[in-house]
Every structure is written in C-alpha cells, then in structure tokens.
C-alpha cells in the first residue's frame, strides 16, 4: 500500500528506469545524483525533491511536464510541508 502517493511516485519512476534499462550507477551518472539519493527516491524511502524527479525523468526520456504534475499531486496527497515543496519548485523553475 502506498503512503499518500509518495511510494507510488517512486515506484513509477523506478518502472521508468527499468523500462529504459538503466542501472542505479548509470542513472546516477546521467543525473548527477548520488546513488543513495536515487535509491531512496525510487523505493519510496524518502520523498524526492522536484529537481531529483525531473533529473530522473530527463535521464530516462520521460515527459518532464507530466512528472512535474505527478510530483505536485503527490505533495498534496502526502501533505509535504509547503516550504519543502516551494523550495524544490523554485530551484527548478525554468528561466
């Protein structure tokens, strides 16, 4: 069972990773994120920052607009503190 969308987001991102056949090592290389950060995000252990979600989506050829919407929806369902969500949103706003 998922926890308000948090785990579901990670599991779905991990399915995307597996569909394109990337190891955690290769995903880390492509995203610039630590493997532990990726593992925590993709297993639902920790709720990922938006920039992490978008980096994973980009590395896997996913639709970043769709993943941004999924992340926002998961924040709302999970009651992620607004400051955490806002900080992540501001740090990845397009220029």
Number of other CB atoms surrounding residue 46 within 10 Å = 14
CA distance 2 to 73: 14
| Counts of helices then strands in the chain (DSSP H, E) | 6, 0
Q: Is the pLDDT of residue 16 over 70?
A: yes
Tell me: the pLDDT tens digits for 64-80?
999 999 999 998 876 66
Q: Look at the chain and count its residues.
A: 95
Is pTM beyond 0.85 here?
Answer: no
Phi, psi of 31 (to 5 degrees): -95, -25
């Amino acid at each position: 069972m998922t926890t308000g969308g948090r785990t579901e987001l990670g599991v779905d991102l991990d399915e995307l990773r597996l569909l394109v056949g990337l190891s955690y090592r290769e995903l880390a290389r492509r995203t610039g994120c630590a493997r532990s950060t990726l593992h925590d995000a993709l297993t639902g252990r920790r709720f990922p920052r938006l920039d992490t979600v978008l980096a994973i989506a980009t590395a896997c050829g996913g639709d970043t607009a769709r993943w941004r919407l999924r992340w926002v929806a998961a924040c709302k369902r999970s009651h992620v503190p607004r400051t955490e969500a806002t900080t992540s949103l501001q740090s990845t706003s397009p220029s």
